[in-house]
A and B are shown apart, each in its own frame.
Chain A
Amino acid sequence: MRRRSIAFVLGFVLLSQILFAQADSTQKILDEIVITATKTKRQLSSITVPVTLIPKREIAQVNGHRLQDVLAEYTGLTTTSSPLGAGIQLQGLDPEYTLIMIDGLPLIGRLNGVLDLSRLSVANIAKIEVIKGPSSALYGSNALAGVVNIITEKPKKRQQFSATAKASTFRTFDFSAQAGIYSKKYKGILSTNYYTTGGYDLASNYQGYNISTDYYGKTVSPHHNYSLNLHQDLQLTQKIDLLLDSRYFKEKETYQFADKNHNLVDGTGFIKDYAVTPMIAFQLAQKLKTKAKFTHNQYRTETQERFENKSIYSYSLYHEKYNLFEIQNDYRLSKNHEFSLGFGYEKESLKTSRLSDNITFAADNKYVYAQYIYNRNKKANFVLGARYENHQNYTPQFNPRASFRYKIFPKITVRASVGRGFKKPDFKQLFFNYTNNAIGYSVFGVKHLEQGIYDLLQKNEIAKDPDTGTPILYPDYQNIINNKGLLDAESSIGTNLGIQILSFKNTKIDLNFFRNDLKNLIEIVPIALKTNKWRAYSYINKRRVFTQGAEFDIKYFVSSNIKISAGYQFLVAKDKDVLSAIENGQIFAKDLTSGVSYKMKKSQYGGLLNRSKHSANLKLFVSNFWQQTSANIRVFYKGRFGFNDYNNNQLLDIDKEYIPGYFLVNTGIQKSFFDKKIMVHFGVDNVLDFTYATPEYTISSLPGRTFFTSLNYKFNSK
């Protein structure tokens, strides 16, 4: 009886809020400012490309530690985890095809293409803007699937200070503090964060394995890091503004593993990342704004791995330097016509122990981009842009993009965009010079191929044809040489078509269809047979794939303090060459029980690995329902996805090759005291305690149920 009456009262409270507290919250969203879509400030309602905006408020509700914790909560932003770190899969494309930026500047330090999102604390983020679809027309390489731009916190009050302490399961602690001042002349804000975690081990769930020698070490190893960010803004005159952004990051990780002979190895890894960015913005004329920026960024990792007797197992160094100089002019001819013109020069260098003889590889890039925005009226606008770049190491790239928005009816808006995106070849594909001495194969980047093969011929390490006595070089060797050692950038054409429906002033529905056609994907191919029966390999542009699907999002503001949202993504991603090979009857699979081969059918092909056809989320937020208390519950579904090949055709086709779909439930409750000066937060992530760990595949980002609590203090002067 008692239980029933509580439910009744709660139900009544909710109902009264639904009835009496109608609010126009969708308009608030549409008024938000977006900068990433056009590299100029614009209202969300006038943006022509698909955008996901993640405001500070929602980041606080999730209360995650690192960037991937926040991104994973949004439709179409699938996070991936691998030994290379946490990445993001956008529109079905791998992490290497999404550009990650902080305040409009790209982050460096990608390992095999993956930029580890866990390097980034969420403590000083004001908002995150995610643009979906190719954005190379503004940002160049890697912006194929889209762009994630992290906008850091800027001072807003004369004096402001905040501090947060968080603790969660697995001895994870997170401390951050922020202090800022604001005056007409000078604005500055300093943010710091310290994060430490004890890590966790999922291998202990395995059956029948000797964990101490087969799976020595943890799934996620203990590590700790510091971040420091300083933003300064000096208004020199009314027309000249000087800015200086600096950031510093340092991490240390300790880990263990067993080598192939079950010898235990202890490793220590260090990461250092820092950047300094001075900028100057000036207004030469009423209609002309100019912004010039320079950035110097260094990313360095060093790992040392030793056996138990302290002898060295391996040592590696990776040191990347990046300099960028860019000028952008924005000219506003009238209310209807806006132009932007930008120039840039990038200089990169890399020193790494993975290139023999410690070669330093350097690359220069010059680019120019232009954009024209036509605001026809309040109902329609049109954006046309293109970027041309001339890089030392690959063919010049021209990336146009066209997009428009049209409000067909007062409540219905359509958006369409089509653009080209590209990703440059990485240093490995260009300059690698590597021979595995333990096994015997060799890998050469295309720029080193001729020299590498010449060296092998000199040492008589290339096998010779017995009949003719000529060295055995495969056709792709000649193909690469014919290309003069040039590797083309990987490129795509992406199309997005969306419709937005606003109804009853408190519902917002977004539906977006996307298709990306990628070509020239770089693949490793054999180029010669060595006398030791192993092969030498290099890289060539080969594969063609496509991804397509639809994204659906609905937000319903039940009242000013109750919000329900739901999202769903449908995704198909396949290799075009595999599809045509299946059509030609050239793809086979093996029946696992009998071992007999059969011809694969198109309907059996599951597409690219690690992609869920279906993923969905459902969230309920209730704010301030009782004495400054807010709560939320968020449910996520990730449909089954392929992870490996089991029937020996290197393709995804049988059930055993999929990880089954799963649900995650996260929940949190927060209460503020003393006029919102103090906020206490408590929550449980992964309430259902879902984990997946087998020797074949482990979802390393899911340690099971975790509890967290945090305390936040905030002081703002008037």
Chain B
Amino acid sequence: MKHTILILAAFVVFISSCKKEVDPVVPHAESKKVTNLYAPADVRDQTTGEITQTNPFVYFSFAKGTAVDSLDSWDIAFKGTVIITNSGISGTGQAKSTIVNSTFDDLTEAPADSELKEDSATAYAIPWGSGNGWYNYDPTSHLISPIAGRIIVVKTNDGKYAKMEILNYYKDAPAQPDPTVDQGSTLTFNFVYQDNGTNKF
């Protein structure tokens, strides 16, 4: 008899705890997807390595969710594998960014502002080069592939927070890209833009 009461009591506690609502303070920001954002890299002579044709950066605003003009308020910009942040040597804005090791969904809070960086002459907030930042380059197959678990976090030019995961570097995001056939410099990525000003996603 005593046991039955205990079990009943435990059951009541369990039911009531289930009724509790999820913390309503943070509304879940919407995840969006950008497909086939084409930002061609500079063209280089294959033997000398010198640039034969300079291409412009493609500027991006998380608030708008699209590519924007360089005169507009932009947050980051793309050219090939390079990503610059609108601050320091790269722009006149206030944007900062960094790379965090996580899955996209598990990253529920942006790192402290002290860990978000501006672009400087020696170090870009999103580091360049194979293995340093968001991608690997295979010198045999020439394949560029986004590194698993590298999430880019940006404090935007308007002081809001955004996170993004690059999914593919080739046109139409093929599961098995072939660099000799598929068009590179064509990004597909997921992002969340938190417009309520908190750093929680």
Interfacial residues, chain A to chain B (CB-CB below 8 A): 260-261, 438, 463-466, 472, 529, 531, 533-535, 586-590, 592-599, 646-650, 695-696
Q: Residues of A contacting B46 with CB < 8 Å?
A: 260-261
**Can you list 15 A-B contacts (CB < 8 A)?**
A466-B121, A466-B123, A529-B123, A534-B129, A588-B101, A588-B102, A589-B148, A589-B149, A592-B175, A593-B175, A595-B173, A596-B103, A599-B106, A647-B148, A650-B136
Flag if B168 contacts A595 (CB, 8 Å).
yes
Q: In the complex, what's the smallest C-beta–C-beta distance from B196 to chain A, in angstroms?
A: 25
| Interface pair B167/A464, CB less than 8 Å apart | no
Whether B49 lies near A597 (C-beta < 8 A) is no
In the complex, residue of chain A having the shortest beta-carbon distance to the beta carbon of B169:
A595
18 new A-B pairs (CB below 8 Å) besides A534-B129, A588-B101, A595-B146?
A463-B122, A466-B122, A533-B129, A535-B132, A586-B101, A588-B148, A594-B167, A595-B166, A595-B173, A596-B104, A596-B165, A596-B167, A596-B190, A597-B103, A597-B148, A599-B106, A648-B145, A648-B148
CB distance from A351 to the nearest CB of B (A): 28
Docked pose: A589 CA to B103 CA in angstroms: 9
B37-65 near A? 1/0 per residue, CB < 8 Å: 00000000011010000000000000000
Query: Which residue on B lies nearest to A210, using beta carbons?
Result: B180
Task: Point out the residues of chain A lying under 8 angstroms from B166, CB to CB.
Answer: 595
- B165 / chain A contacts, CB cutoff of 8 Å: 595-597
List residues of chain A with CB within 8 A of the CB of B190. 596
Query: Which 10 residue pairs of A and B lie closest in terms of their CB atoms, listed nearest first?
Result: A588-B149, A595-B167, A588-B148, A466-B120, A649-B148, A463-B122, A590-B148, A592-B175, A648-B148, A597-B149
- Kindly state whether residue B68 has any CB partner on chain A within 8 Å: no
The verdict on A648 contacting B147 (CB below 8 Å), with A464-B122, A533-B129 known, is yes
Given the complex, which residues of A lie within 8 Å of B128, measured CB to CB? 533
Cα of A639 to Cα of B7 in the assembled complex, Å? 53
Contact B122 A472 (CB under 8 A): yes
Q: Is the interface of B mostly helix, strand, loop or mixed?
A: loop
| A residues near B122, Cβ cutoff 8 Å | 463-466, 472, 529, 531
Cα A454 to Cα B132 with chains together (Å): 24
**A-side interface mostly:** loop
CB distance from B201 to the nearest CB of A (A): 15
A374 to B16, CA, bound (A): 74
Q: Mark B104-119, 1 if CB is under 8 A from A, else 0.
A: 1010000000000000
Q: Give CA–CA (A587, B173) in the complex, Å.
A: 23
For the complex, is B17 an interface residue (Cβ under 8 Å from A)? no
* A533 proximity list for chain B (CB < 8 A): 128-129
Q: Which residues of A contact B168 (CB under 8 A)?
A: 595
A83 CB to closest chain B CB, in angstroms? 12
Q: Is the CB of A261 within 8 A of B101?
A: no
Smallest beta-carbon distance B82→chain A, Å: 10
In the bound complex, do residue B175 and residue A598 qualify as a contact, i.e. CB atoms below 8 Å apart? no
Question: Contacts of A534 on B, CB cut-off 8 Å?
Answer: 129
Whole-angstrom CA separation of A586 from B150 in the bound complex:
11
**Are A648 and B167 in contact, CB atoms less than 8 angstroms apart?**
no
Complex alpha-carbon distance, A706 and B131, angstroms: 43
Once A648-B145, A649-B149 are accepted as A-B contacts, the answer to whether A588 and B136 lie under 8 Å apart by CB is no
Contacts of A588 in B (CB 8 A): 101-103, 148-149
Determine the distance from Cα of A587 to Cα of B150 in the docked complex, in whole angstroms: 11
Docked Cα-Cα span, A502 to B104, in Å, equals: 60
CB-defined contacts of A589 to chain B, threshold 8 Å: 148-149
B4 at the interface (CB under 8 A from A): no
Q: What residues of B have a CB within 8 angstroms of the CB of A695 in the complex?
A: 141
**Chain B stretch 11-26: residues in CB contact (< 8 A) with chain A:** none
Kindly list chain B residues whose C-beta atoms are within 8 Å of the C-beta of A463. 122-123
CA A688 – CA B141 in complex, angstroms?
31
Residues of B within 8 A of A592 (CB): 175-176
Asked if B97 is an interface residue, CB under 8 A from chain A, the answer is no
Given contacts A466-B121, A588-B149, A589-B148, contact A599 B175 (CB under 8 A): no
Chain B residues in 8 Å Cβ range of A595: 146, 165-168, 173, 188
Cβ–Cβ < 8 Å partners of A646 in chain B:
176
Chain B: which residue is nearest A260 at the CB level? B46
- A594 CB to closest chain B CB (Å) equals 7
Residue of A nearest to B124 (CB): A533
Q: Within B50-105, which residues are at the interface with A (CB < 8 Å)?
A: 101-104
B120-174 CB contacts (< 8 Å) to partner A: 120-123, 128-129, 132, 136, 141, 145-151, 165-168, 173
Report B48 CB to chain A, min CB distance, Å: 10
* Docked complex Cα distance between A595 and B144 (Å): 13
Shortest CB distance B63–A (Å) = 23
